[in-house]
Structures are given as structure tokens and as C-alpha cells.
Amino acid sequence: MIETDKIVLAELASLLLKEGQLPDEQENELRLLLEKYPDAKDSLRHRLANTDIHVPFDLRTTDLDQEWKILKTKYNERQIAPNYHRLNGNWKPAVRIVAALLLLFTFVWIWKSYLRPVNYLIPDKVYGQKNDVLPGTNGAILKIKGEDEINLMNKQVDGGLPRGIELKEGKLLYSQLKTEESNPIHTLIVPKRSTIALTLSDGTRVWVNSESELTYRPNFEKNQRKVRLKGEAYFEVAKDTKRPFVVEANDLSIQAIGTAFDINSYKPNAKVLLKEGRLKVNGQENEIFIDAGNGVKMINSQLVAFPIPDMEEATAWKDGYFYFENKSMQQILDELSRWYGIKIDSNVSLDKRRYKGGIKRDVTLAEVCNLLKDLTGYELTIDKEKLIVNKLAGKK
């Protein structure tokens, strides 16, 4: 990037941050610069769409006159009065300089923090893609009501975890605390490109999939153990006949004592797959019991039970596999989007056919695309953090 363009881009972006909008002439100038440097444009668009911007100070509430007075006082204390007296008669230009420096500093801070290269994009030397995308990994954000968020992707996080919680080999472990004085709500947020396993204080083991949230208290109540799920998770519930384990997901309430099951609630109509034990499921209008080897889903506000043809459907993702058996192309693409953190750009209408197949989740996106091209007849092109879907030439 040309040095003068950097300066102009910094000034325009900083002014946009301060004022909230730009005059037409300056807006056109910023647009032309972003078109000239598409890397900056793409990165800026992505970060603004997916990340809240935080700066060390709020320029919109900064009193520049007051800041200049403080600056003059500090200069006096450092005995540089001669330079100060030269400015004393006409200090407004100096205020403008300080303002510009503040704006420039802010933009540089944002640029370094948010426009650095995405570290999971890598060259593709095998499949002929423009680039490749690394698979996701273990990680999550732990929100404790009334406290700061804790980034569990940081390997040095242990010192910041409350008593009774530890992060061991990428797994979050809770122990039962004797005191019940403090029992705030915990929310485990698993973003795209992530998954995490945890053991709750009662011994229940949970695997939480990408783009999901699990809400619970570190110490369960005396009469029941309740959690709330958004997204997908697999549960191995510790047995406790006196305290049923209840999962609330969308419009479903799933009650267990000691079972193993998967809940997928990405869509409004959640689906439950039971591997072990027995479940009671409450819906909007009815209640149903299912035994191991069966599932339940909501159809037209009614719970409907069905046999599970292959139990691998419930466990594959937590065991490190994509399971494409009997899934549509849209369902497959949704899974890829969550695990690789990509945006899907489909230039064709996706058919309703169901496919068979699978592949390990620890491979790169280009390898999955190569498999899907043969499996589905779609051409999948990776362009940075975008997956473009077209029909293969000659395919109808």
C-alpha cells in the first residue's frame, strides 16, 4: 500500500469512527481506496460484521480543549515553557494537530488489532483452490454473570478461573463446591470454528458443538439439574434418581436420570437422538417417552418419535467426524460453515437429494470440498473465507 494512501485511509476511517458518517466527497474517496486495496476492504467488512470494536477511549466524548489544557500543564511541569509560550497565543491549530494524532492513533490501534491476517487461511498446494482453510479447534468463551468474560482458548487461563473450575487438556472441569452462597449463572459460548467438552459439577459430561451456547449454574439445585441449550450438544448424564437432569432447547424440555443423548437445536424444530437409557420429552402440545435407539422431533407442533437408522449420526461430530448420511446439501454446507468459519455463497438452487458419506473433521476445507465434488456434483471454490457453490460443468 502506498504510504500516502495509508495516511488518507487512516484519516478517513478515523473520521468515520468519530462522526459516524462522512460527507459525500470523503465517503467516495474512502470507497475508492477500499476498492483499490481489496484486502483491506474484505478484512474490514469481515471484522466489523463479526466483532464489536472497542477502543481505549471514546473520541466522541473527548473534550479537546480540556485535553489541550492538561497537555500544556504537563509540558510546564517538564520545564519546556519556551515552546509552550510560542503556542499560547494561537492554540487552536495545535488542538487540531492533537485531535488528528488521537484519530490516527485510534485507527492504527484498530488496524493492528482487527485487520491482521486471519491465521487459519493457508495456501493450497494440492487441490488447486485459491487458498485453504484449517479446521476448527477446542475453545469457548465462559461468561459468568456479573464478571468479565473468560477466553478459554487462552492456554494460560487457569489463573482467571473461579475456585472449583479448571481447564485441563482443553476440557472444562467443574467440581462440587460446598458453599452455595455464590452460584451465579454460567454461559458457555462456543463460536464458529470451535468445540469444547466439559464435566459439570454432578459428573455429567457434555460436548458442545460449534455456534452453540450452554447455560447452567455451577452448583445444581437440590431437586433438579437444569441447563439450557442453543445449538447442539451431546450429554452423558450422571445418574441421580433424586435429581432429574433437564435440558431446555427451543420449545422442548428433555428430562433424564442417567442417559446419553444428542440434541440438535440449530433450527426451530429441535431433534433429539437417544443412545442410552430413557427420556421424557415435553413439547408445545404433547409429551412423549423414548427408549435407546430412538429419536424425537417436532412436526407441526407435535412431538413425533422415530427409530435411528445409524447411531453414528448422534455421536460422529463429537468423535471427530462429519456424518453426511441422509443429509441434504444445505445441511452439509451449514456444518462446513460452522466448523471452518466460512460464509457460503451459493450461485445455484440446491437440490433436495440426500447423500451418503463422511470424512474426518481434522482435515482442511479443500480436502472436504474435493470429496463433496465427487459425492454431490457441485463445484466448491474456496475464496479466502468464502465457499462458492456452483454446478459442475455438464451437470444438470
Asked if residues 246 and 225 have their Cβ atoms less than 8 Å apart, the reply is yes
- How far is C-alpha 50 from the chain's CA centre? 8
Mean pLDDT of 144-170: 81
Domain ends where: 86, 116, 146?
A: 116
Q: Are residues 11 and 79 in the same domain?
A: yes
Q: Are residues 164 and 244 in the same domain?
A: yes
CATH number for the domain including 226? Answer: 2.60.120.1440
Is 132 a member of any domain? no
Which pLDDT score is estimated for 104? 60
Q: Are residues 186 and 296 in the same domain?
A: yes
Q: Are residues 87 and 205 in the same domain?
A: no
The chain-wide mean pLDDT, for the chain, equals 81
Q: Are residues 108 and 29 in the same domain?
A: yes
Q: Are residues 298 and 330 in the same domain?
A: no
User: What would the grid cell of residue 218 be?
Assistant: 455451577
Q: Are residues 325 and 307 in the same domain?
A: no
Is 196 a member of any domain? yes
- On the question of pLDDT at 170 being above 50, the answer is yes
Q: Taking Cα atoms as reference points, which of 50, 22, 66 lies closest to residue 118? A: 50
User: What would the grid cell of residue 179 be?
Assistant: 458453599
* pLDDT confidence band for 134 (50 / 70 / 90): very high
Domain ends where: 290, 311, 332?
A: 311
Which pLDDT score is estimated for 115? 45
d(CA 355, CA 226): 36
Q: Are residues 25 and 174 in the same domain?
A: no
Higher-pLDDT residue of 302, 58: 302
Task: Note the pTM of the prediction, 2 decimals.
Answer: 0.71
Is 243 a member of any domain? yes
- On the question of pLDDT at 284 being above 50, the answer is yes
Is 303 a member of any domain? yes
Is 31 a member of any domain? yes
Q: Are residues 185 and 241 in the same domain?
A: yes
3-state secondary structure of 198: strand
Rg (C-alpha) for the chain, rounded Å, is 27
- On the question of pLDDT at 59 being above 80, the answer is no
Higher-pLDDT residue of 381, 51: 381
- On the question of pLDDT at 272 being above 50, the answer is yes
| Strand positions, DSSP E, 237-349 | 245-249, 252-256, 260-264, 271-276, 278-282, 287-291, 294-299, 302-307, 321-323, 343-346
What value, to the nearest 5°, has the Cα angle with vertex 80 and ends 77 and 86? Answer: 125
* pLDDT confidence band for 392 (50 / 70 / 90): confident
Is 396 a member of any domain? no
d(CA 366, CA 370): 6
Mean pLDDT of 22-38: 74
Which pLDDT score is estimated for 119? 85
- On the question of pLDDT at 200 being above 90, the answer is yes
3-state secondary structure of 264: strand
> How much of the chain exceeds pLDDT 90, in percent?
53
- On the question of pLDDT at 89 being above 80, the answer is no
Higher-pLDDT residue of 17, 340: 340
Asked if residues 225 and 204 have their Cβ atoms less than 8 Å apart, the reply is yes
Q: Are residues 376 and 287 in the same domain?
A: no
3-state secondary structure of 77: helix
- On the question of pLDDT at 331 being above 90, the answer is yes
Higher-pLDDT residue of 84, 341: 341
User: What would the grid cell of residue 263 be?
Assistant: 440434541
Which pLDDT score is estimated for 124? 95
- On the question of pLDDT at 67 being above 60, the answer is no
Q: Which amino acid is at 280?
A: K
Is 123 a member of any domain? no
Domain ends where: 261, 286, 311?
A: 311
CATH number for the domain including 376? Answer: 3.55.50.30
d(CA 231, CA 195): 12
In this predicted structure, which of 47-56, 177-186, 206-215 has the lowest mean pLDDT? Answer: 47-56
Q: Are residues 306 and 334 in the same domain?
A: no
Q: Are residues 68 and 112 in the same domain?
A: yes
**Total number of domains in the chain:** 3
Q: Taking Cα atoms as reference points, which of 301, 291, 389 lies closest to residue 348? A: 389
Is 129 a member of any domain? no
297: domain range?
137-311
